[in-house]
Structure 1
Amino acid sequence: MLTAERYITLQNHYVGPGASESEEQEYEATLEELTGLFHCTERNVKMIVKKLQEEELIKWLPGRGRGNRSRIQFMVKRESFLLRFAQQLAEKGDYRYAFEFLHSFEEDKHIVDQFIKWLNEQFGVKQLSANHKDKDVVHLPVYRTVHTLDPGNLYFGFDSHLVRQIFDRLVHFDSEKGQIVPMLAHYWEGNEDGTEWKFHLRKGITFHHGKVLTSEDVVFTLNRLRCSQTNQWILETIELVEALDDRTVKIILHQPNWLLPCLLCSSCVSILPKDLLTQDEPSFWSQPSGTGPFRVAKWSDNSIELAVNDSYFLGRAYLDGVKIVFLPDNIPNRSKVKWENLINNDARVPSQAGGDWELIETLSKSCLLISWNRNKTGPQQSLAFRQAVNLIIDRSGMIDYSGQQGYPARSFLPKEDTSYGIHRHDVEAAKKLLQESGYDGSPISLLTTEADCIDAQWIQKQCALIGIPVELTYTGKNALTKIGAGQESDAVLICLLFADDEICELESFLQENSIIHQHLEPGLHNWINSIVKEIYATKSEEKRRVLLQQIEYRLHDEAQLLFLLHRKMNTYVHPSIRGLVINNLGWMDFKDIWLISSLTAKKA
């Protein structure tokens, strides 16, 4: 990058930004001038000139005789050079540096548009030739990185989605059928009171490194999750896990838990190979081995590449591979707006809405909400104050302000009537409640991530209408996963994803690093724990749903949580792609995708 900056520095000095360039034009120059330009010695200037000549960027014509100045000729036009260099950075995976490089030259803003247009063509379906055979690989850009592939420490939906491509669970929740179906276990059974369970494994399943799956791997995985893992709450009712033989696992509980099979559907309970993890756990996570439809072929700070598992027990995937490129989340806003045309809603697939591309529109099973910190002194301790903030926030206005599509939220999950967009927004009632609360005008602190900054700014504007100053603080998404992350703030604005209804709602209440869990005051926390114990002991799914609703109703009635928005996701799909379905994590399952030729797609 240093060589590129020096070349542009020379061009700016001799040609000038935006000036027309002639391929044959020469400019008079001296080594003395260049020492001042580069702020270095004449010896270093000679090395710089030599380097630029070696890369065929300039020609240096030394002056002959007294009074004859040297001359410099630029071999690559400024615009071509900037674009080419940014492309080289991108091809190496240095997308952040590519954007930073281009945006350091304000006079060349139009080149950013050309770069984005070029970058647009780098993603999508690629046919790569290897050993005289075509391999179908999908290249996807995303505005995020992988925080962890360790199932026990999962927190974000994107990580969970990738884990499901690499690992498998004992059982799987089929959202279309609305029931639990076999996965690694082909059959399971519980005793009469739900305190003992047996899971029977399929034969012949192998991990990516060739080891055959046995019940010992299951016992190891469950015991590992129970010990000091972020998601150990999932198995909190387990007293003992034992292998009855190579393919039978027995689980003994210290209390009835009819929800156990559903809990075991969670990505957090993905089964791991005992042999590799007990040998060298740190190195295992650099290239983990699972039983899933894809294996990790390469993983760096810039991308992750998945290769197909040819011997997957549920059938080989059509795709030969998937390459996911991590794009910088903090690129300048001017580019990001244009970039969203390419990777709408975090880039499930390249999304140019032109020609015969198909639009897939879904309502995300997520909720943007405010969680109040009831374990910190401040105005948020008043119910009337929390209700006042709830009434002053215009959800429809928030949707218009952010430019995102969605609906006002009244609960964790969208319901059948969500699309009606009904919500209560009442400025006068908010003012009255604020007066009743005895609010003294002190500011409240709201913590959120950069991704939700526009929504946070809308909340700040709305609260100002009734005299509540809001101080905004931004942090990284990963920081919100730390225990104690939101304890210094009065409230946290966060978007929660609910993959499997019962499990994900429970996760919000029970997971130690959950913002909601950390914000509950002790009395409310104990009451929720008593309801959860009853949920576990309830065999009826309908009754469990009612019990979960009781928790949600109380959180709503006490304005502990302010439900704000459910967001819509729009994904444009190339006509050659088939089998794409947005799953309950908001992503597409790579195993289900298949392709047809472009010619066939046009005839269809």
Structure 2
Amino acid sequence: MLTIERYLTLYGRFASELGAGAAAEASIEQVAEALYCTERNAKLVLRKLTEEGFIEWKAGRGRGNRSHITFREDREKLLLDLSRQYAEDGEYNKAFHLLQTFGEGTAANEKFMEWMSGSFGFHKQLGKEADILRLPITRVIMTLDPAECVFSFDSHVIQQIFDKLVVLEENTGRILPGIAHDWECNEDATIWTFHLRKGVLFHDGTELTASDVVFTMERLRSGKLNSWIMRSLGKVEAVSNRIVRFHLNRPNWLFLKYACSNVMAILPSGLLGQSEELFWKRPVGTGPFQIEEWTSGRLLLGANVHYFQGRPHLDQVEIVPVPPNEALKGRMVTWQQLICDPKQQAVTVENGWIKLESKNVCTSMLSWNMQRKGPQQSELFRRIVDQLLDRKLMIRELEGYRYLPANGFFPESEPSTSVTPPNDTPIPPDELRKLIARHGFDQFPVTLCAHTVHSADAFWIQKQCMAYGIEVKVRIEGQETIHSVFDEVDVTFHSLVFPEDEVSLIESCEQDNSFLKRLMTPELSAWTIERFDEALAFKNSPDRMAIYAEIEERLRGEYQVLFLLHNRFYTDYHPTLKGVRINSLGWIDFKHIWRA
């Protein structure tokens, strides 16, 4: 394969315009330069390519006689063949790298993605009764460590590999048994006791005990991104092999919901004697799927046949990260369609497809960087930008999953579809322009940061502001970099999902790497934490919700956060696919899917 890559390198350097079959002038010095090697090695490469029939090399002899190289193989065909071979070997990242490096000026990318689409979806393994689901995902998995997880897709995969003490039933809000089959707390919710099931096995066959729970919680509280969830923990103890007791420093009537969070997924004690680095290369949990392979090119999950909640119907799930630009250029169909059959007809009701809508939503917002100098330090400026963003117009123009203007974190708390803060009179458009000019807000460019998936929203906001003279520079960042640029941007567009409703809200304000906490003023951050502690002391939900409303009101009233839209999760599936359900993170749960 290295030989073919060298052939493609030389082809691109000398024959990209001439094509296969034509003779191109090429000196040994030029060949060595193209291959980044010595002239001696260049001669060896040319000899090998000649012996294998890829090229014909005619060395120029005598003064004034130039050397010529004839490329015999078609570049596009070679690219496709090698890319497919990489993909069939599970080395998808090599395939995409090859296409990105050598595919310019060819249709190789489009043809490869068309071929790939045919390999995605449901398949039966030849010679075995094995059901395999292969999905393309246009994002990378940043971590599978629950204590360090930030992104929703990472959390979704964590949910496939690990289990929690208890589970939040999404449709009813009930707390169901997980690793713990029973639990109780004292009168003021400062002591919580969990009784563990027998026979819960980690993927290596080790039985889970109370010591694994204690280890997990002690590790979680030790300076991790998600240590916020253990902030009130005094101590956690193993009363016996089957009983774990949490002692809290203050009342927390939400602690049972805390225990439903993927953040508190249970790890094996001591990480099975491995170092942190080694363990997280192939982590072991008790969940419905176990990791069979994890590389930069794919994640291969196999069914946990001993799963205590029932074996998954699928035998394998293969998740393939596809570069977003390659998916776009290749017009790759969505993973929602591929879970059924890439050869199905168009995704329409007329063709038998069913649209499934999640009851959970994510809420998009703008968070101003109050740690950075700039016009955003002016409440008037923040108020002006808030008014420039017509949420209903944003929904009409961008469409898609956007469905309701946001007045706060949760749609059910919306007093109306109006997004104008109470007692705030809208400023007429002409007056807005005068205010912007009078205060010099048109003199200072504002840098707006957004994740790649929110590009359309960011550029829409830019357009609205620019129409009134406010210069906005859009900075699009991927998962790998977006949390590292806080100090360099003035405002960030982001969205929050609420898989554990109230708990997720608290997390969004307390997690050290969250947009809300990092960008708001330290004084406001400390105040929100104090208010959350007050809320946790209330047993009844309406009392807690009243405090959350106060927090929302302050964020909204000071314009430190501009609530924008509530967004729905959808998927389309064909009736031949059974067990489809969208979880609160916006993804399909693999455990329940099966093919009729």
The verdict on a shared fold, with TM-score over 0.5 as the criterion, is yes
SS of match in other structure, 1:133: coil
Q: Which residue of 2 aligns with 1:77?
A: 74
Q: Which amino acid aligns with 1:82?
A: L
Q: CA deviation at 1:80?
A: 2.2
Distance verdict in 2 for CA 1:56–1:235, change over 3 Å: same
SS of match in other structure, 1:162: helix
Q: Which amino acid aligns with 2:331?
A: W
Using the alignment, how far apart are the partners of 1:123 and 1:427 within structure 2? 51
Q: CA deviation at 1:440?
A: 6.7
1:389 aligns with 2:385: yes
Using the alignment, how far apart are the partners of 1:490 and 1:6 within structure 2? 46
1:477 aligns with 2:479: yes
Using the alignment, how far apart are the partners of 1:77 and 1:575 within structure 2? 43
Q: Which residue of 2 aligns with 1:527?
A: 527
Distance verdict in 2 for CA 1:432–1:111, change over 3 Å: same
Q: Which amino acid aligns with 2:289?
A: F
Using the alignment, how far apart are the partners of 2:24 and 2:560 within structure 1? 70
Q: Which residue of 1 aligns with 2:111?
A: 114
Distance verdict in 2 for CA 1:242–1:438, change over 3 Å: same
Using the alignment, how far apart are the partners of 2:192 and 2:155 within structure 1? 26
Using the alignment, how far apart are the partners of 1:542 and 1:348 within structure 2? 40
Using the alignment, how far apart are the partners of 1:357 and 1:56 within structure 2? 52
Q: CA deviation at 1:266?
A: 0.6
SS of match in other structure, 1:219: helix
Write the deviation string for residues 309-343 of structure 1: whole angstroms up to 9, x where unpaired.
Answer: 111111111111111111123x36xx516535334
Indicate conservation of the 8 Å contact 2:117/2:332, yes or no.
no
Indicate conservation of the 8 Å contact 1:371/1:491, yes or no.
yes
Write the deviation string for residues 163-192 of structure 1: whole angstroms up to 9, x where unpaired.
Answer: 111111101110112111111111111111
Q: CA deviation at 1:353?
A: 6.8
Q: CA deviation at 1:590?
A: 0.9
Using the alignment, how far apart are the partners of 2:304 and 2:55 within structure 1? 50
Q: CA deviation at 1:527?
A: 2.7
Further displaced range: 587-596 or 96-105: 96-105
Please list, as runs of the form range in 1=range in 2, the aligned pairs for 1:7-26 lying within 5 A after superposition.
7-8=7-8, 17=17
Q: Which residue of 1 aligns with 2:461?
A: 459
Write the deviation string for residues 431-451 of structure 1: whole angstroms up to 9, x where unpaired.
Answer: 466468674732222223333
Write the deviation string for residues 111-136 of structure 1: whole angstroms up to 9, x where unpaired.
Answer: 3322221111111112114xx53211
Distance verdict in 2 for CA 1:462–1:208, change over 3 Å: same
Q: Which residue of 1 aligns with 2:502?
A: 502
Using the alignment, how far apart are the partners of 2:38 and 2:45 within structure 1? 11
Using the alignment, how far apart are the partners of 2:104 and 2:139 within structure 1? 29
Q: Which residue of 2 aligns with 1:601?
A: none
Out of 354, 364, 368, the residue aligned to residue 368 of structure 1 is 364
Using the alignment, how far apart are the partners of 1:528 and 1:344 within structure 2? 38
Indicate conservation of the 8 Å contact 1:410/1:563, yes or no.
yes
Indicate conservation of the 8 Å contact 2:146/2:264, yes or no.
yes
SS of match in other structure, 1:161: helix
Using the alignment, how far apart are the partners of 1:12 and 1:439 within structure 2? 50
Using the alignment, how far apart are the partners of 2:158 and 2:282 within structure 1? 12
Distance verdict in 2 for CA 1:70–1:476, change over 3 Å: closer
Indicate conservation of the 8 Å contact 1:304/1:325, yes or no.
yes
Q: CA deviation at 1:214?
A: 0.9
Please list, as runs of the form range in 1=range in 2, the aligned pairs for 1:226-241 lying within 5 A after superposition.
226-241=221-236
Out of 310, 323, 329, the residue aligned to residue 315 of structure 1 is 310
Using the alignment, how far apart are the partners of 2:493 and 2:592 within structure 1? 34
SS of match in other structure, 1:206: coil
Using the alignment, how far apart are the partners of 1:268 and 1:162 within structure 2? 12
Write the deviation string for residues 66-123 of structure 1: whole angstroms up to 9, x where unpaired.
Answer: xx99997765434422322332344455555545544566874433322221111111
SS of match in other structure, 1:137: strand
Using the alignment, how far apart are the partners of 1:429 and 1:258 within structure 2? 49
Unaligned residue ranges in structure 1 (runs of 5+): 597-604
Using the alignment, how far apart are the partners of 1:491 and 1:386 within structure 2? 10
Using the alignment, how far apart are the partners of 1:557 and 1:239 within structure 2? 36
Q: Which residue of 1 aligns with 2:134?
A: 139
Unaligned residue ranges in structure 2 (runs of 5+): 421-425
Using the alignment, how far apart are the partners of 1:396 and 1:353 within structure 2? 35
Normalized against structure 2, the TM-score is what? 0.86
1:512 aligns with 2:512: yes
Using the alignment, how far apart are the partners of 1:436 and 1:538 within structure 2? 48
Write the deviation string for residues 252-309 of structure 1: whole angstroms up to 9, x where unpaired.
Answer: 1111111110111110101111043555332111111111111111111111111111
Q: CA deviation at 1:352?
A: 7.1
Please list, as runs of the form range in 1=range in 2, the aligned pairs for 1:155-174 lying within 5 A after superposition.
155-174=150-169
Indicate conservation of the 8 Å contact 1:317/1:592, yes or no.
yes
Q: Which amino acid aligns with 1:121?
A: G
Q: CA deviation at 1:579?
A: 0.4
Using the alignment, how far apart are the partners of 2:357 and 2:47 within structure 1? 57
Q: Which residue of 1 aligns with 2:423?
A: none
1:281 aligns with 2:273: no
Indicate conservation of the 8 Å contact 1:216/1:246, yes or no.
yes
Indicate conservation of the 8 Å contact 2:87/2:95, yes or no.
yes
Distance verdict in 2 for CA 1:411–1:583, change over 3 Å: farther
Q: CA deviation at 1:7?
A: 3.6
Q: Which residue of 2 aligns with 1:450?
A: 452
Out of 337, 341, 361, the residue aligned to residue 333 of structure 2 is 341
Distance verdict in 2 for CA 1:255–1:448, change over 3 Å: same
Distance verdict in 2 for CA 1:107–1:310, change over 3 Å: closer
Q: Which amino acid aligns with 1:472?
A: V
Indicate conservation of the 8 Å contact 2:23/2:71, yes or no.
no
Please list, as runs of the form range in 1=range in 2, the aligned pairs for 1:251-266 lying within 5 A after superposition.
251-266=246-261
Distance verdict in 2 for CA 1:592–1:273, change over 3 Å: same
SS of match in other structure, 2:125: strand
SS of match in other structure, 1:336: helix
Q: Which residue of 2 aligns with 1:52?
A: 49
Out of 285, 291, 316, the residue aligned to residue 286 of structure 2 is 291
Q: CA deviation at 1:251?
A: 1.3
Q: CA deviation at 1:145?
A: 1.4
Distance verdict in 2 for CA 1:95–1:17, change over 3 Å: farther
Normalized against structure 1, the TM-score is what? 0.85
Indicate conservation of the 8 Å contact 2:23/2:70, yes or no.
no
Q: Which amino acid aligns with 1:194?
A: A
Q: Which amino acid aligns with 1:200?
A: H
Indicate conservation of the 8 Å contact 1:169/1:184, yes or no.
yes
Further displaced range: 563-572 or 172-181: 563-572
Q: How many residues align?
A: 580
Q: Which amino acid aligns with 1:374?
A: M
Write the deviation string for residues 46-69 of structure 1: whole angstroms up to 9, x where unpaired.
Answer: 4333332454434679999xxx99
Q: Percentage identity across aligned positions?
A: 38
SS of match in other structure, 1:240: strand
Q: Which residue of 2 aligns with 1:415?
A: 411
Write the deviation string for residues 26-50 of structure 1: whole angstroms up to 9, x where unpaired.
Answer: x6688x7566566588755543333
Q: CA deviation at 1:456?
A: 1.9
- Aligned-pair RMSD on alpha carbons? 3.6
Q: Which residue of 2 aligns with 1:584?
A: 584
Q: Which amino acid aligns with 2:579?
A: G
Q: CA deviation at 1:227?
A: 1.6
SS of match in other structure, 1:451: helix
Q: Which amino acid aligns with 2:481?
A: A
Using the alignment, how far apart are the partners of 2:340 and 2:353 within structure 1? 11
Q: CA deviation at 1:374?
A: 2.2
